[in-house]
Structure 1
Amino acid sequence: MSTTTPTTTAPGPSRTADVPVRAVSVLAALAAALVPAFVLAPGPVAGSLSGGGYGGRRELEDRLSASFVDYWAAGERSFPPGLRGVVDYWSRYHLVKAVVAAVLLAVLVALGLLLRKAYLRAGGLTAGRRTALASAGAAVTALALFSLAMVMANVQGTVAPFSSLLSMLPLHAPHGVPAGTLEEIRRQLAAYPDGGQSPPPVEVMVSDFGRYHAVLAVAATAVALCAAAISAVSWRRFAAAAASDRRARRVLRSSGLLWALMAAAVAVIAVANTATTADPAPALLAFFEGGW
């Protein structure tokens, strides 16, 4: 009677061996928690830091409108207490949003890098799983770009909160800025700076509006340069990649195109905001005339 020795087969590699499931899950959960935090946290946190918040947008608009009219009537450079409180609150509000958006951006970048690495090593996965990885990577990239835009916009609001608040002035509502005040502001801005000495509030508004656009010009220039550098590196690696490594070449080509387009788009924003920084009064006048 013959006996056969049982053979043991070594387990094959797991189809998810190259996908760091635990790390991806943790980062995805963290990103999912940060999105509502970006929307819900700024108001209460800014209110606690500035000694009081606002019940809603209408209350903020009413307080802003009334305090802005008082500021214009006083004719001083310094903000009255009411307007100072609104401006301080708005600066803290944007600071909280900028911090949350920056953390979300860092999480999404880390998640995107993990997904990209997993996709490049996904030879053992089915076509469906590779497609799912590619789709997840594209979604994370889109969210990361949106988070980057939110960081830039909220840094802008943090540094120049007064100009950011101007967009919330109810210019044409019954509870808004009186028509006489608006007409006087328009007249002063139309004559600025050639109409003689402008009222201090006009000088403050023009200066702050220039700062508001300067912040975005600097941020956009930095992002455009970084995007151009990433695009150049991607194209260099694409040229050096083996022709047989089609997956890597596809990823590198897509990355090069994406970041080149990103650099061009953000460069346009940088140029436009640089021009407004150099001469902010016409853009501010356009706003008060309803064209901004």
Structure 2
Amino acid sequence: MSSPAASSLSSGVSGRAVAALAALAAVLAAAFVLAPRALAASGPGDGFADEEDIRASFRAAFVEYWGSGSAEFPSGLARVVDFWFHYHVVKAVIAALLLIALAWLGVLLWKAFLSAGGVGAGRKAVLGAGGVVATVLALFSVVLVMANIQGAVAPFASLLPMLTDGTADAELAATLDQVRQGLAESADGPTAPALDVMISDFARYHVVMAVIAAVVAVVLIGLSVLSWIGVARSSDPRTRRVLGSFGALSAVLSLAAIVVAVANTTTAADSAPALAALFEGGW
């Protein structure tokens, strides 16, 4: 039978809770990699074998779409775009759950570290290292959530890089040449219906990232302010160091988020040149 000390990392922090959260995070990380493709298939025949299968299907469907002269997706392209939407929704949900688990785990580990006054230096180092790892992984999960929300809101635009990634067959190469020509002439007059859709969805792709990055920047600024308030109110040197580190990190990351928001806003305001850069291999 375990003693209270064995089941507790420090005062008020359960070792079982930390272990359970770590196990949950590991399961969610595996699910993020392995589950989305199967879960995104809404019915028999809606799935794809692998990323190469998705790329090949999208390329063939895009050539058909461009040649149709219509703004409406043909059935083959609609199938790929619908799958890609569901794929990113699944990944966004799993990434959000992973973020929650890692954030909670990080809070418990840092709480244990700050309250571990009577334990050895080795155990303190383990708790501190665990807190750092959980924090870094939580930040990485934020990026995953952002990217997959962006992909879910504008799935067609997020598929476009597959057109220029790798070698194109003769039919696709000819289509891409026509797309590049249409983008080069887009400022001079009306464009093909398919090109209008591409430019519009590409703008939406960047608008959503600008909004997400702005929200993240606000949250990070708030966390930084709260951390520095905690520094001012605390008299414990170790607590002040930890909170000060979080305050500085949050401030730096908020600046990075603001840069991302501004860059995406600028691109969304004039998306045709950025889309042209993508088709020239510069994005």
Query: Aligning the two structures, in what range does the TM-score lie when normalised by the shorter sequence?
Result: over 0.9
Cα separation, 2, equivalents of 1:93 and 1:49: 13
Aligned-residue offset at 1:221: 0.3
Q: TM-score, normalised by structure 2?
A: 0.94
Tell me the residue number matched to 2:130: 136
Report the secondary structure of 1:79's partner residue. Answer: coil
- Equivalenced residues, count: 279
Task: Give the conservation status (yes or no) of the 8 Å contact 1:50–1:88.
Answer: no
Aligned-residue sequence identity (percent) comes to: 49
Task: Give the conservation status (yes or no) of the 8 Å contact 1:102–1:151.
Answer: yes
Tell me the residue number matched to 1:241: 234
Tell me the residue number matched to 2:178: 184
Residue 204 of structure 2: which of 204, 211, 218 is its match? 211
Report the secondary structure of 1:235's partner residue. Answer: helix
Aligned-residue offset at 1:109: 0.9
Larger radius of gyration: 1
Task: Give the conservation status (yes or no) of the 8 Å contact 1:101–1:147.
Answer: yes
Residue 196 of structure 1: which of 189, 194, 204 is its match? 189
Residue 158 of structure 1: which of 152, 171, 181 is its match? 152
Residue 273 of structure 1: which of 256, 259, 264 is its match? 264
Aligned-residue offset at 1:178: 2.6
Task: Give the conservation status (yes or no) of the 8 Å contact 1:61–1:170.
Answer: no
C-alpha spacing 1:82/1:276, structure 2 compared with 1 (3 Å): same
Structure 1 gaps of 5+ residues are: 1-10
Tell me the residue number matched to 1:53: 47
Structure 1 runs of 4+ off > 4 angstroms? 11-15
C-alpha spacing 1:13/1:163, structure 2 compared with 1 (3 Å): closer
Q: TM-score, normalised by structure 1?
A: 0.91
Provide Cα deviations, 1:102-132, integer angstroms capped at 9, x if missing partner. Answer: 0000111111111111111110111111111
Pair 1:220-2:241 in alignment: no
Cα separation, 2, equivalents of 1:110 and 1:50: 38
Cα separation, 2, equivalents of 1:146 and 1:188: 38
User: What letter corresponds to residue 70 of structure 2 in structure 1?
Assistant: E
Provide Cα deviations, 1:13-56, integer angstroms capped at 9, x if missing partner. Answer: 77834241010011000001111100000001112458521112
Task: Give the conservation status (yes or no) of the 8 Å contact 2:9–2:112.
Answer: no
- Once the two structures are superposed, the pairs formed by residues 1-292 of structure 1 within 5 Å of their partners are 16-18=9-11, 19-49=13-43, 51-170=45-164, 173-175=167-169, 178-192=172-186, 194-242=187-235, 245-292=236-283
Report the secondary structure of 1:16's partner residue. Answer: strand
Provide Cα deviations, 1:54-95, integer angstroms capped at 9, x if missing partner. Answer: 112222111111110000000111000000000000000000
Aligned-residue offset at 1:199: 0.7
- Aligned Cα root-mean-square deviation (Å): 1.8
Task: Give the conservation status (yes or no) of the 8 Å contact 2:10–2:112.
Answer: no
